[in-house]
Amino acid sequence: MFILIWYSDNTSVQFVDETLEVIEAYDPGIESPIQAYEQCSISPALASYTAANDDWNKLMLGQFLDRRWPLKDTTEILLLEHFTHNLSKFFDFCDQSRHFEIEAPRRARSCQSLLDAIFAVSSRHLCMIKKDFDPYVADFFYQRCLQNLIPDLDKEESNCNDNLLAATVILRLLEELNVPLAGSDQYHHSLGTQAFLRSQQAEVPSTGLHQAAAWAGIRQEIYASLTMHRPPAIKATASMMESLSSSDDCAWANRAVDHCSKALEFCFGKSGADRFCYDALLQNNVEWCTKRPESYDPLCFSIPEDSSSCPFWDVRFHADWHVMGWQYITLARLTLLIHNPHIQEAVLPRQSSWVGINDQARSALKLLCSIAMSNIATPAAIVVACMGITISGNVVEAREEQRALLDVLTQTEEDHGWPTRALRSNLKDLWATRASSMNC
């Protein structure tokens, strides 16, 4: 301890060290300042800090990292990270809690079937977009997953097993990557359909992952329905719809998904000629658009001055569920327009009624593609746009718009792995045939 002494006569300052005197006054047993420092150095707070520092040193040496995920090599680490950071976006775009990004990998740590499903779809996706990734890796994990999954699904308790349901949904994404948009009926997801139907019949409390997987299954059935021109095999249950909050943003996106599923049921099912049913569906579509929350309003909507170089609009939204809600409601409207029962089949394609329908269909398709290209951070949007191209690309006549559609399809395959080559080839042949017939 230092005492400052001020001398007023010569304006000088002197420091006097009185540490020893102060120590002796408070504790006569201490002989020196060094001894005092040593006693202070073993205070409880400092001892705790020293122990924590020793623990950190052990951590740095790896002694605390022995407990880790059951991943065998860097390939499995890469596959898990690829699913978490990339592929989960194709499941979670209507889910604020991001169950497939967060919950599914956590559960996969203790569920081999779920982990293998993640490995299988990640390796297949990397094989599609990188080309140099070994395709046998996906086959290995796919077969190993099925070896465990099929026996597990046969058990009664599998009805309420969220892990198996999530694994089934993930494997169905792999099948989507394997089936061309314009291909034949190559779907082999009867296993997944069975799992969903049994889970819907099980009267058990629904967890967040269960609900997320169920809605993912509904969306996958929309893809399968459009690919194979058949009604969806899986539909949203009454309990799923009742659980949707009227004010929740994600709930509005899921309502759009359910509406799209019902539209496909009408178009490809037995009630396709029922005009009253058609009018009701069209009215529901309009009500979704007019009663939507303000959060579903676009951040911007602009039309480029030169439509020949950029035929799409700039339509941006705030979040994934806003993007996808609009995509599914627009896809539903496009499907209903094409299957309008009020237009008799006997009416020639060039008559005014069909011309008006085609104009509306082209506008709906342009909106689908515009939203997809304006919101690239939501990769599932471009897949839905490709679904729209699948069913209505034939109505596009302008050459610049045809090229733009081909660009969307090419980008979907190159960036996201969805096979669109067959569809591109079919559209080119169709457009060329129509152009030659018009020139005759």
For 387-405, what is each residue's pLDDT tens digit?
Answer: 999 999 999 999 999 999 9
Are residues 199 and 275 located together in one domain of the fold?
no
Let me know if residue 332 belongs to a domain.
yes
Are residues 161 and 293 located together in one domain of the fold?
no
Confidence of residue 304 (pLDDT cuts 50, 70, 90): confident
Are residues 270 and 383 located together in one domain of the fold?
yes
Let me know if residue 387 belongs to a domain.
yes
Are residues 211 and 289 located together in one domain of the fold?
no
Are residues 267 and 406 located together in one domain of the fold?
yes
Let me know if residue 75 belongs to a domain.
no
Domain boundary among 194, 227, 260: 227
Torsion, CA 421, CA 426, CA 429, CA 430, rounded to 10? -140
Are residues 155 and 91 located together in one domain of the fold?
yes
Per-residue model confidence (pLDDT) at position 348: 47
Confidence of residue 138 (pLDDT cuts 50, 70, 90): very high
Asked if residues 118 and 131 have their Cβ atoms less than 8 Å apart, the reply is: no
Domain boundary among 227, 259, 278: 227
Phi, psi torsion values for 387, nearest 5 degrees: -60, -40
Quick one: how far is CA 55 from the chain centroid? 40
For residues 328-337, give the mean pLDDT.
97
Are residues 264 and 397 located together in one domain of the fold?
yes
Structure tokens at 271: 């009630």
Choose the weakest-confidence range: 37-41, 135-139, 155-159, 295-299.
37-41
Q: How far apart are CA 282 and CA 265, in angstroms?
A: 14
Phi, psi torsion values for 130, nearest 5 degrees: -105, -20
Are residues 215 and 283 located together in one domain of the fold?
no
Rounded percentage of the chain residues whose pLDDT exceeds 90: 55
Q: How far apart are CA 321 and CA 27, in angstroms?
A: 71
Let me know if residue 54 belongs to a domain.
yes
Burial 325-361 (b: 16+ CB within 10 A, else e): bbbbbbbbbbbbbbbbbeeeeeeeeeeeeeeebbeeb
Q: At which residue do the structure tokens 């779920």 appear?
A: 114
Per-residue pLDDT for 307 more than 80? no
Distances (CA, A) of 238 to 201, 215, 223, 226, 256: 12, 13, 22, 24, 15
Domain boundary among 227, 262, 291: 227
By residue range, what is the domain housing residue 276? Answer: 249-440
Are residues 109 and 203 located together in one domain of the fold?
yes
- How many CB atoms neighbour CB 56 within 10 A? 11
Q: How would you classify residue 303: left for phi > 0, otherwise alpha for psi between -120 and 50, otherwise beta?
A: beta
Are residues 216 and 141 located together in one domain of the fold?
yes
Mind listing the pLDDT tens digit for each residue in 201-254?
Answer: 555 557 899 999 999 999 999 999 998 899 998 889 888 898 888 779 999 999
Q: How far apart are CA 294 and CA 301, in angstroms?
A: 15
Total domain count for the chain? 3
Q: Which amino acid is at 73?
A: D
Let me know if residue 52 belongs to a domain.
yes
Let me know if residue 135 belongs to a domain.
yes
User: Taking Cα atoms as reference points, which of 151, 186, 178, 183 lies closest to residue 167?
Assistant: 151
Instruction: Work out the burial of residue 41: count CB atoms within 10 Å of its CB; fewer than 13 is exposed, 13-18 middle, 19 or more buried.
Output: exposed
Q: At which residue do the structure tokens 């539209």 appear?
A: 263
Q: Of 383 and 16, which is predicted with more confidence? A: 383
Contacts 24+ apart (CB under 8 A), 391-394: 391/226, 391/334, 391/335, 391/338, 392/334, 392/338, 392/361, 392/362, 392/364, 392/365, 393/365, 393/423, 393/427, 393/430, 394/427, 394/430
Are residues 185 and 327 located together in one domain of the fold?
no
Are residues 271 and 367 located together in one domain of the fold?
yes
Let me know if residue 193 belongs to a domain.
yes
Let me know if residue 68 belongs to a domain.
no
Q: Bridge partners of 16? A: 3
pTM of the model as a whole: 0.83
Q: Which amino acid is at 434?
A: R
Q: Which amino acid is at 339?
A: H
For residues 52-70, give the mean pLDDT.
67
